[in-house]
Amino acid sequence: MNYMRKALEEAHLAASEGEIPVGAVLVRDGQVIAAAHNRRENDHDPTAHAELLCLRQAARVLGDWRMRGCTLYVTLEPCPMCAGAMVMSQLDSCVWGAADEKQGCCGSIYDLPGDPALQGVTKWQSGVLAEECGQLLRDFFAGRRG
């Protein structure tokens, strides 16, 4: 749960920057390798999701695109793009907080990492600090809607 708390810190940073509050942390052997939060608005980049930014940062730190032995903690269930990146990076596992009933691809609308056609190795676990992660998102969107 320690790592999800760090991901929540990243999500709060995203909110403070006007971004959708999603944060991610990548861990290997009990050590935080990378941490990131959404930056789509500020970077004008549709791919600047917390998960992708975290995977990119980790690849630079590790000197390898393969994320074997790593776990990604993210406050919101990964979308199709991010779930695909997890599989393609050979990430061992993903732990996520709040479910995304509209675009979540680690169990909600689809289980992309579990699709046998992709021969993926990424396992996932849902619902860690789900209420806290979800409340942050609900509060953010309520504030935007006035």
Catalytic residue flag (residue 51): yes
Q: Which of helix, strand or coil describes residue 83?
A: helix
Per the residue annotation, which of 17, 19, 41, 51 is the catalytic one?
Answer: 51
With a CB cutoff of 8 Å and minimum separation 6, the contacts of 87 are: 112, 113, 118, 120, 121, 122
Exposure b/e, 106-123, CB count within 10 A at least 16 = b? bbbbeebbbeeeeebebe
Q: Which residues are catalytic?
A: 51
